Amino acid sequence: MLYPPRPGSTNTVPPIGLLSIGAVLENLGHEVNLIDSALSGLRGGALARQIHSYSPDMLLVSAFSSDVAILSTELSILKEALGNTPLLLGGPHASCRGVRALEDLPQVDTIFLGEAEESIVEYLADPSARIPGVIRRTDPWDTSPRHVDDLAVLPIPAWHLAPPANYTGLPNGVLYKRMPFAPIITTRGCPYKCTFCAGFRITGRQIRHRPLSMVWDEIDLLVNSFGVKEIHIEDDNFTFDADYAARFCEEAIRRQYPVFYSTPNGVRLDSLDEHLLELMKKAGWYVIHCGIESGSDRILRSVKKNISTSGIKEKISLINRVGLSTAGYFILGLPGETEDDMEKTISFSLSSGLAWAHFATFLPIPGSEAGDRWFIDHSDSEDIWMIFHNTDSPAPPEGISRKTLLRLQRKAFLRFYLRPVQMLRLFRQISNPVTLKYHIRRFRDYLHTGSSSPRKMPEIETPA
């Protein structure tokens, strides 16, 4: 199994999807090896030699759309080295692009759409059969993403393939108290319809819960066998079912493990109330990440976020009152945004009571409502995958140049962080060399280039 190289990325997070597939394969009696090149940096001939040394029967690759540019080079080298070894692709890019992923990565033989723990078993039983959620290049039929109805059938991810202590880079959301951390999933799916999000292509709109006893079996393993000191719940929507989230917290309080908890993907603010927040704090949460996206009510409506700026402010004050810190994710350059809307986002971030803020630029994710619309008009942009990362800002809104968007992103970042109270917070948080290096790099990039993007990718023309 291969997780692709990601040069320049500061986040290193164990590949939970592959770990879940790995556990299924091991249960079937297969020998599984995982190379996380995002962690090791292994590429080219060295990567090919390493994979070749395992004499694999097949190579399973997981990729985001932001991995496509690098993967296409790496897979060409691998294809040559591995001859006829079948190359299988799953994960966000395959699920979001569907059959077109086979055009994006011509080296791939078969793609898996959606959650694949069940389809991989069926594929291994008969690789030539038509299986829902599986598309072979030799028979590119149309299928929709597959989902696992009952999460109780899933094994605990094969954590021994990616021991958390190896992951010493920054976790998702940057903030953490203690290493090693481990990302886990407790629920899959999200019923909301935010136009910029394609999560439903992978995990669907129907929310499903893992039985809490299984979640705790996994946390027991992580804490007792892998020395994990912080659990990051990476669900789309952990607090959607407030009762489930509350029961999780009550069990955490009962167990008293010396670990912190966090939900760095963000939770929906409208799902939080004082009771749940108190429980989260007692359980070991120290910050609540939330997807705010915009400080303009017009834009919040247009992206179908289903919450208003006043509703957001109210919840942030509630979180602060409970004594938890808040981190907000914003997106600049959403479709239809004007400079004025983005200025509103910047002002909102300053007055909202947030302790931390991240300002990404809009990424037209294939499979999302906004992404699909963007791709209709830009399907000829052959080089899109070369700049497909939100730090590259590939899709500024109409009438706004990429330069202006990056200038506003820089302004947002500097206005938010260059305040005495923020500087103090930053210094308090810089407790280790990894975090210190990250912040220095961010400030350097924003001050000198106007963008925090460390990626060196060629520019393609985007409409101004």
90 binds, among ligand SF4, ligand B12, none (CB under 5 to 8 A by kind): ligand B12
266 near ligand B12 (CB under 6 A): no
- Cβ-based neighbour number of residue 318 at 10 Å: 17
Sheet holding 325-332, edge to edge: 287-293, 325-332, 356-361
Cite the beta strand spans of 333-425 per DSSP E: 356-361
- Cβ-based neighbour number of residue 310 at 10 Å: 8
360 binds, among ligand B12, ligand SF4, none (CB under 5 to 8 A by kind): ligand B12
Q: Which of residues 325-364 bind ligand SF4 (CB under 6 A)?
A: none
Radius of gyration of the chain from its Cα atoms, rounded to whole angstroms: 22
Among 192, 216, 286, 443, binds ligand SF4 (CB under 6 A): 192
194 binds, among ligand SF4, ligand B12, none (CB under 5 to 8 A by kind): ligand SF4
Q: Which of residues 59-88 bind ligand B12 (CB under 6 A)?
A: 60-62, 64-67, 88
Report whether 92 contacts 234 (CB < 8 A). no
202 near ligand B12 (CB under 6 A): yes
Beta-carbon contacts of residue 441 (< 8 Å; ≥ 6 apart)? 10, 452, 454
By C-beta, is 238 or 313 nearer to ligand B12? 238
Among 98, 180, 199, 328, binds ligand B12 (CB under 6 A): 199
CB of 26 to ligand B12, least distance (A): 14
Closest among 181, 165, 170 to 435, alpha carbons compared = 170
DSSP-assigned letter for residue 270: G
- Tell me the backbone φ, ψ of residue 324, rounded to 5 degrees: -105, 150
Selected range binding ligand SF4 among 73-81, 93-101, 190-198, 425-433, rule: CB under 6 A = 190-198
What is the rounded CA–CA span in Å between residue 274 and residue 373? 39
9 near ligand B12 (CB under 6 A): yes
Q: How many Cα neighbours within 13 Å face the side chain of 44? A: 2
- What does the binding site for ligand SF4 look like in residue numbers (CB under 6 A)? 190, 192, 194, 197, 199, 236-237, 268, 291
- What does the binding site for ligand B12 look like in residue numbers (CB under 6 A)? 6, 9, 11, 13, 15-18, 20-21, 60-62, 64-67, 88-93, 95-96, 112, 115-117, 120, 172, 183, 185, 197-199, 202-203, 234, 236, 265, 360, 363, 365-366, 368, 390
